[in-house]
Amino acid sequence: MEEEKPSEPSPSKGPRHGSRATSHRMRYLQVLAISALSLLGMVSISGLLFMPTAQSVTTSRLSQMMRGGDNNTAGAGADAGAGAGTGPNTAPKEAGGALRGSTRSIAERRAAVKGAMQFIWTNYKERAFGADEMTPITGLPRNPWGSIGCLILDSLDTMWIMGMHEEFADGRKWVASKLNFAKMGDVSVFETIIRALGGLLSAYDLSKDRVFLDKADDLAQRISHAISPTTGRANYRFNSFTNHSYQPGSLAESGTYQLEYEYLAHATGKAEYSKLARVFYPYIQTRKPIRLGGLYASQIHGGDGGPFNGDLIVSFGANGDSFYEYLLKIWILRGGAGVDDQNDLMKKMYLEAMDGLEKYLVQRSTTGRVYIADYDIRRSEPRARMEHLACFVPGLLGLGAHRMRTSDPDTSARHLDLAKKVMTTCFEAFYAAQPTGLAPEVLDGENLEVRNGGKHYILRPEVSESLYILHQVTGDPVYQDWGWRIFEAINTHCRVDYAFAAYRDVRTPREQQFFDPKRDVEGRQKWELTLHEDRMETFFAAETLKYLYLLMDPENEYVSIDTHVFTTEAHPLSMFKKATSA
């Protein structure tokens, strides 16, 4: 069987897009209908459930649906392991708490991850619904992304994939009635595209509900003002009131809208989106002063596209990462080889970038760990450091190896071998080596040390992403075990009153403390704030929990790496056609 042509799922696994997926879309529509009728007093959800149509369902099945249950969960008992109910917590669990132990079944692990998502959503809906974020310790609304309900938009597909259809319907209702991109104000172009646009497109892809596509189209029409039609360069900031954008974006910011725009063009039939998505790649190839083979400096001057402030640093971390990611993923999304010259260019640029990665960036620490360094073009030398962000590389290499394993078996095998080595470093050096089991933002020096500037953990997803992809590619259960250990550490050290909070110092474990929940709420919160930042990025729900859930649900009925391409914010989009040989 050719790797670039994903096989049809076997009957024992259930169809990816067949009857079960369609039935779940029907269940979602039924939830919408019940919600609407209940507002008119026509349906009693708490009593006898009645669906006055020919598509009625049984009370027991509908009750299960309204609880968010599905065939992929282990039931309420397993969900409770991660605390699906509302906060606040009176104390953190002891190291690993009720989740400790490798004897947990995959179904129990999956249910625990789902329980974490339910815990977040329940508190968010009660305390901050419609806000971009909710502060996890104090439970307050926060709006850093333009007051567009970013947590809703970023979480819709996660809830669908987890079978949380009632919660998905709540989010859909808010999108249809409240979401207004005209009032965003001054926002980040990059973050708005990957979180809001990507989230809406994936929600549409999974549910086929047109309201999401229409909102995505509206957003893209606005944000496109920030992208140059002649160079494809994207600016850093955009103001929705004036349609003015400013401050040139980095390599990643100019190279991380194309996947979403290609899908939007395909879904809407509006060719202007794909036309805009294809401008940047020919342009960036001509920027010789910032180029090192298939690699490029992460900071680009806004005028001539040369070095920005003399900076010539190549990085698969901040400001560079997702540019390289999208080279491969656009090629896969649009159908692989033989589609057109543009798609062939994507694969060519990806392979050239991976050649550059192997030649210049792959380094070995003093302890023998293989890691991804930065590279200083001007000095012609690597910089001995690795960002957590660069831990997406094992997943990228694994995905490319999976796609090209028949057409180019030697390159595929080499890339997969490198992916496994870097994956080991990402788990062992970033997570397992820390007293908390949480990862620092950066490891510095040739022996990969945690230093004060990078000692914090902000719930990042890159390692979970790579674990999921490598497990899909290899089937090795060690990646599930590593993912579970990461989830245990997050649940132990980052779970707080209302959600999960960024951890200030991964070298300092969270000690067991007990507080009277009625008498000493303020004392508990003050204690938590010494250990945590009172913030949970929306990518924790969009990416980290999604990938950990899928890692424990390798035969998920909705998505897989053979049917979908995940955006850099983990929003799955259906491939246009089956990927073909390279």
The DSSP line for 205-252 is HHH--HHHHHHHHHHHHHHGGGB-TTT--BEEEEETTTTEEEEE--HH
How many CB atoms within 10 Å of residue 394? 30
In a domain, 3, yes or no: no
In a domain, 52, yes or no: yes
The answer to whether residues 104 and 68 touch, using CB atoms and an 8 Å cutoff, is no
Known binding positions: 568
How many CB atoms within 10 Å of residue 204? 24
Instruction: Give the C-alpha separation, 328 to 242, whole Å.
Output: 35
CA separation, residue 196 to residues 124, 200, 283, 433 (Å): 18, 6, 27, 35
Query: What radius of gyration do the chain's Cα atoms show?
Result: 23
Mean pLDDT of successive 10-residue segments in the chain (582 residues)? 36 35 52 46 31 29 32 35 43 36 84 99 99 98 98 99 99 99 97 99 99 99 97 96 93 98 98 98 90 93 58 94 98 92 96 98 96 96 97 99 92 98 98 98 93 95 99 98 98 97 96 68 87 98 99 98 98 82 46
Instruction: Give the C-alpha separation, 176 to 422, whole Å.
Output: 43
Instruction: Give the C-alpha separation, 454 to 472, whole Å.
Output: 31
CB-count burial class (<10 Å; 0-12, 13-18, 19+) for 424: middle
**CATH code for position 277:** 1.50.10.10
Residue of 79, 191, 205, 217 marked active site: 191
pTM score: 0.84
CA separation, residue 394 to residues 425, 467, 471 (Å): 10, 8, 11
Using the CB atoms, write b or e for 19-43: b if 16+ within 10 Å: eebeebbebbbbbbbbbebeeeeeb
CB-count burial class (<10 Å; 0-12, 13-18, 19+) for 366: exposed
Give yes or no: 126 in active site. no
In a domain, 135, yes or no: yes
The answer to whether residues 218 and 180 touch, using CB atoms and an 8 Å cutoff, is no
Residue of 462, 537, 557, 562 marked active site: 462
18 Cβ partners below 8 Å, 6+ apart? none
Instruction: Give the C-alpha separation, 529 to 540, whole Å.
Output: 19
Backbone angles phi, psi at 532, to 5 degrees: -125, 160
Instruction: Give the C-alpha separation, 344 to 330, whole Å.
Output: 10
Query: Which of 562, 397, 398, 580 shows the shortest CA–CA distance to 474?
Result: 398
Strand partners, 371: 363
In a domain, 1, yes or no: no
Residue of 3, 157, 321, 497 marked active site: 321
Instruction: Give the C-alpha separation, 495 to 116, whole Å.
Output: 9
CB-count burial class (<10 Å; 0-12, 13-18, 19+) for 7: exposed
Give yes or no: 462 in active site. yes
| Residue 15: per-residue pLDDT | 32
CA separation, residue 272 to residues 214, 264, 269, 333, 562 (Å): 16, 10, 9, 18, 28
Structure tokens at 328: 């491969």
In what helix (H) or strand (E) does residue 174 lie, and over which residues does it extend? helix 165-178
In a domain, 582, yes or no: no
Quote the longest CA-to-CA distance of the chain.
Answer: 73
In a domain, 95, yes or no: yes
Residue of 3, 209, 441, 562 marked active site: 441
Instruction: Give the C-alpha separation, 217 to 197, whole Å.
Output: 8
Known binding positions for Ca(2+): 568
Which structural domain range is residue 326 located in? Answer: 11-574
Long-range contacts formed by 321-325: CB under 8 A, 24+ apart: 321/252, 321/389, 321/390, 321/392, 321/568, 322/194, 322/252, 322/255, 322/256, 322/568, 323/251, 323/252, 323/254, 323/255, 323/256, 323/296, 324/350, 324/353, 324/357, 324/396, 325/256, 325/392, 325/396, 325/568
Structure tokens at 79: 């969900």
Q: How many domains does the chain have?
A: 1
What letter represents residue 23's amino acid? Answer: S
Structure tokens at 113: 């991850």
| Residue 104: per-residue pLDDT | 87
Tens digits of per-residue pLDDT, 337-350? 888 999 999 999 99
In a domain, 580, yes or no: no
Give yes or no: 321 in active site. yes
In a domain, 204, yes or no: yes
